[in-house]
A and B are shown apart, each in its own frame.
Chain A
């Protein structure tokens, strides 16, 4: 591992590009690539939200005919579930926090002029973009998009004749994910190499901001997980198109033998969840890092227990690879195996609790500035706790068997993995927007956006827990005629109304984002009075990040309210703080 002795002192690996294409399309600049990832995720999230709205409408009015779209058939509903989940998990939750903010700010926060391999960085974005195009193309081929869920369980996903959308649409779905994996691996390679080898002088590992730690560990998780998903995708494509039987047992469809035999659907589940559970942390760890950063900045206090936070990130990353079996308690696994997975799953609660209490400790007695980024950071902590608290329920096989196929599970993972991570993205957007675009976002609109999102999120997902406990099964398209579920229909309707209002609230964000880019108040170089290196450079940062120089780091990333300091924060590149004698 490189240390600060190998401090990066090189100029930008490439000169500032001229012309629109080189500057904004095929750019090698990590900042532009970060913005490209961010806007790709923005498009993807609105596609994903639109699909979820259609799902919500169908759940309460399954026979409704929608303008332009017509009827939503049961199989179309399953397609919506599949594509909503896939687009959100891969092209939003994995893309924006890591590809977007990570790309933009990791090099600047460690004092580097760019990523280690700029060309690879550009390729990683365009590969991801291609993956998104292929995914969307699945809607427009014969049979439409697949209906096997974002988890792609075999044998449903492994045989072309299992339903509409399982033909070419499913092939495109798998190919898209394979392409995405390759892009994500190229990105991870860059993140890890850059972090280990390009830190500025004085930027020791234990002086790195928690954002950098989070992006770094997330990259390691991606490096280990996406290769496995890629292998599973290759095997699935072979089963579908070459007649092999890795995942398909002897099955009949409409009374006809398929020609496959001996394969194991559980093998797919093992490979998928070996990726799938770390993916949860790939989505949430960057948000944890970003919110740790913000809580310290806006409490005007050092982060509570910096080292503990670092070790907690590492522990979460490590344990994330040990618990995939808790997604498979329903598969008939041995009770002893289930017990082991259960214990390790609950073990993740320990580093998670350390982080939560440290966040609260950071807030305690702080001089809190309730800015919009801070509101979203506090909202993140709230959602993380609310969503996390149902984790130990589902970690117990006896409870999971009852709850697994109910709305309790979507309620859990949407809160902790989905919306919590989205809140992290919003917090980071409001926080770093001034640095990225040189202007402030409108604070009033940001506050309206926060309250719409915060209340709306709870209005959507808390009732889902009750639906689940009352026995409402997930994945089914048409339950309004089922007698024993009649009493739950008003709650389903309430969730649908809440979804409409919450999504409408996101339009405030969209307007604010684009309005502020051009009309927002001009931002100073350090409007939040923060300490990390991105706030030492010009706004927006120059092509080589620090104007031909490399900063030297003397202090930790969270030196706020330091006794004796001339102001209430000491920047990382400020003169060294020496203990009083």
Chain B
């Protein structure tokens, strides 16, 4: 027979602390990246399948391959460097504001001051490099078009536009998040809130950089 103790307790609610909010935001990001990953896994799968498919040539009535590899513009390598550099800046921005958030909580104690902090605008520099990357991608598209490779020219060019375009749209999401972080700063939101926004954006940005390197390798080496 079971017996009953009176250990029931009720906890009064309180606002979530910084660590809880940060943990939750990071978990949310991790979950959110899963469908992004699935999207690109799906495109990659289609890329591999489509590459191996023959098509019927109506003139000769023979099965032929219509996969004509696209020579990627060299500019994409420069763009890659820009994106990697932006990722480094983003990481510096993340560490900078994390330090501020830590100090901010410490200086609430009497007799503790923040001291001199780094004033380098890493976040703005990341934003500029992110926009430069997008501009570079657009220029690469124009170079492809100038060489006669439009979106429907060959299956391989379709995938080049598809993968680079989809990646660019996702990176725009990162740029939007950077702008949100900037607006939060202008609105004088708490350092903790800004730190969380920047932290999550930073991890997203790094993911985008890694994803771009994967896409570039897929287009260059699996063609």
Q: Of the listed stretches B9-17, B83-91, B117-125, B179-187, name the one at the interface; the rest are far from the partner chain.
A: B9-17
Give A558-581 as 1s and 0s: 1 = Cβ < 8 Å from B's Cβ atoms: 000011111000000111111110
**A16-24, A189-197, A472-480, A502-510 - interface stretch:** A189-197
Measured between beta carbons, the chain A residues less than 8 angstroms from B7 are 554, 575-576
Q: How far is the CA of A573 from the CA of B11 in the complex (A)?
A: 12
- Asked if A280 is at the interface (CB within 8 A of a chain B CB), the reply is no
> Which of B21-29, B136-144, B211-219 contacts the other chain?
B21-29
Q: Which of A122-130, A259-267, A345-353 is the contact stretch?
A: A259-267
Across the interface, which residues of B come within 8 angstroms of A249, CB to CB?
A: 55-56
* Complex: A546 Cα to B162 Cα, angstroms: 48
Residue of B nearest to A181 (CB): B35
Give the contact stretch, choosing among B46-54, B73-81, B104-112. Answer: B46-54
Does A227 sit at the interface, judged by CB under 8 A? yes
CB distance from A272 to the nearest CB of B (A): 11
Pairwise interchain contact B13-A563, C-beta atoms closer than 8 A: no
Asked whether, in the complex, the Cβ of B13 is within 8 Å of the Cβ of A575, the reply is no
List the A side residues contacting B1 at CB < 8 Å: 563-564, 580
Query: Do the beta carbons of A575 and B8 come within 8 Å of each other?
Result: yes
Interface size class of B (residues with CB under 8 A): 35 or more
Interface pair A544/B13, CB less than 8 Å apart: yes
Are A223 and B27 touching (Cβ within 8 A)?
no
Interface residue? A242 (CB, 8 A): yes
Given contacts A193-B28, A245-B152, A261-B56, contact A578 B5 (CB under 8 A): yes
0/1 string, A242-266, CB within 8 A of B gives 1: 1111100110000001000111100
Q: Out of B11, B46, B56, name the residue touching A549 (CB < 8 Å).
A: B11
Contact, CB under 8 Å: A244 / B151: yes
In the complex, B34 has a CB within 8 A of chain A: yes
Closest to B8 in A: A575
| Complex-state Cα separation, A6 to B43, whole angstroms | 38
Q: Is the CB of B162 within 8 A of A552?
A: no
Among A229-237, A450-458, A516-524, the one that faces the other chain is A229-237
* Cβ B155 vs Cβ A227 within 8 A: no
Give CA–CA (A230, B155) in the complex, Å. 20
From B31, B42, B43, B155, A223 is in contact (CB under 8 Å) with B31
Q: Is there an interface contact between A232 and B42, defined as CB atoms closer than 8 Å?
A: yes
Q: Is B221 an interface residue (CB 8 A)?
A: no
Check A201 for interface membership: any CB of B closer than 8 A: yes
User: Are A552 and B2 closer than 8 Å at their CB atoms?
Assistant: no
- Taken residue by residue from 530 to 547, chain A's Cβ proximity to chain B (1 for < 8 Å, 0 otherwise) reads as 000000000000001010
* Residue B193 lies at the interface, judged by CB distance under 8 Å to chain A: no
Nearest CB of A to B159, in Å: 9
A9 on the B face (CB < 8 A): yes
A contact residues around B23 at 8 Å (CB): 2, 6, 197
Task: Name, among A270, A544, A551, A575, the residue most crowded by chain B CB atoms within 10 Å (CB to CB).
Answer: A575
The reply to whether the CB of A430 lies closer than 8 angstroms to some CB of chain B is: no
By a CB distance below 8 angstroms, the chain A residues around B152 are 242-245
With both beta carbons as reference points, the residue of chain B lying nearest to A261 in the complex is identified as B55
Q: Which of A2, A12, A246, A257 contacts B46 (CB 8 A)?
A: A246
CA distance A262 to B10 in the complex (A): 65
Residues of B with C-beta under 8 A to A113? 13
Name the B residues within 8 Å of A443 (CB-CB). Answer: none
- Establish whether residues A550 and B11, one from each chain, have CB atoms under 8 Å apart when the complex forms: yes
Q: Closest approach, in angstroms, between the C-beta of B79 and any C-beta of chain A? A: 22
CB <8 Å contact, B5 and A548: no
Chain B residues, CB < 8 A from A232: 42
- Is A250 a contact of B151 with CB atoms below 8 Å? no
Residues of A within 8 A of B35 (CB): 185, 188, 223-224, 226-227, 230
**Chain A neighbourhood of B24, CB < 8 A:** 116, 193, 197-198
Which residue in chain B gives the minimum CB-CB distance to A10? B16
CA distance A369 to B21 in the complex (A): 44
Pick the contact of A227 from B6, B38, B46, B50 — CB < 8 Å?
Answer: B38
Query: Which residues in A have their C-beta under 8 angstroms from that of B37?
Result: 227
User: Known contacts A231-B42, A250-B56; is A2 also within 8 Å of B3 by CB?
Assistant: no
Cα separation A197 to B16 with both chains bound (whole Å): 12
Closest Cβ of chain B: how far from A324's Cβ, in Å?
13
Q: Does A117 contact B (CB under 8 A)?
A: yes
B145 at the interface (CB under 8 A from A): no
Complex alpha-carbon distance, A565 and B5, angstroms: 11
B residues less than 8 Å from A551 (CB atoms): 10
Contacts of B162 in A (CB 8 A): 234-235, 238
Chain B residues contacting A201 (CB-CB under 8 Å) are: 11
Contact across chains for A263 and B50 when beta carbons are under 8 A apart: yes
In the bound complex, CA of A158 to CA of B112 (Å): 67
What's the Cα separation between A117 and B200 when bound, in Å?
14
Once the chains are docked, how many angstroms separate the CA of A296 from the CA of B2? 20
A271: interface (CB < 8 Å): yes
Give the chain A neighbours of B46 by CB distance below 8 A.
Answer: 231, 235, 246, 267, 271
Shortest CB-to-CB span from B61 to chain A, Å, is 11
Residue A314 lies at the interface, judged by CB distance under 8 Å to chain B: no
Check B4 against A577 for contact (C-beta < 8 Å).
yes
Q: Contact partner of B53 among A6, A11, A244, A264, CB < 8 A? A: A264
| Chain A contacts with B in 198-244, Cβ cutoff 8 A | 198, 201, 223-224, 226-228, 230-232, 234-235, 238, 242-244
Cβ–Cβ < 8 Å partners of A575 in chain B: 4-8
B128 CB-CB contact with A under 8 Å: no
Which of B14, B31, B39, B41 has its CB near the most chain A CB atoms (within 10 A)? B31
Residues of B within 8 A of A250 (CB): 55-56, 58
Contact of B102 with A by CB under 8 A: no
Q: Is the CB of A578 within 8 A of B4?
A: yes
In the assembled complex, how far is the CB of residue B73 from the closest CB belonging to chain A, in whole angstroms?
A: 20
User: Is the CB of B60 closer than 8 A to any CB of chain A?
Assistant: no
Interchain CA distance A190-B56 in the complex, whole Å: 48
In the bound complex, residues from chain B placing their C-beta under 8 Å from that of A244 are 151-152, 155, 158
Are A564 and B39 in contact (CB-based, < 8 A)?
no
Query: For B151, what are the chain A residues with a Cβ–Cβ distance below 8 Å?
Result: 238, 242-244
B42-A257 in contact (CB<8A):
no
The complex places the Cα of A272 from the Cα of B55 at a distance, in Å, of: 22
Chain B residues within 8 Å of A549, by CB: 10-13
Whether A189 contacts B32 by the Cβ 8 Å rule is: yes
A577 / chain B contacts, CB cutoff of 8 Å = 2, 4
27 A-B interface contacts by CB (under 8 A): A9-B11, A9-B13, A189-B32, A193-B24, A193-B28, A228-B39, A228-B41, A232-B42, A234-B166, A242-B158, A243-B152, A245-B158, A246-B50, A249-B55, A267-B49, A271-B46, A549-B12, A549-B13, A550-B10, A550-B12, A554-B8, A565-B4, A575-B4, A575-B5, A576-B7, A580-B1, A580-B3
Further pairs besides A267-B50, A546-B13, A578-B4: 6, Cβ < 8 Å = A201-B11, A228-B41, A250-B56, A548-B13, A549-B12, A564-B1
Chain A positions near chain B (C-beta within 8 angstroms)? 2, 6-13, 113, 116-117, 185, 188-189, 192-193, 196-198, 201, 223-224, 226-228, 230-232, 234-235, 238, 242-246, 249-250, 257, 261-264, 267, 270-271, 274, 544, 546, 548-552, 554, 562-566, 573-580
Q: Which 9 A-B pairs have the closest CB atoms?
A: A262-B55, A227-B38, A227-B35, A243-B152, A231-B42, A10-B16, A11-B13, A564-B1, A244-B158
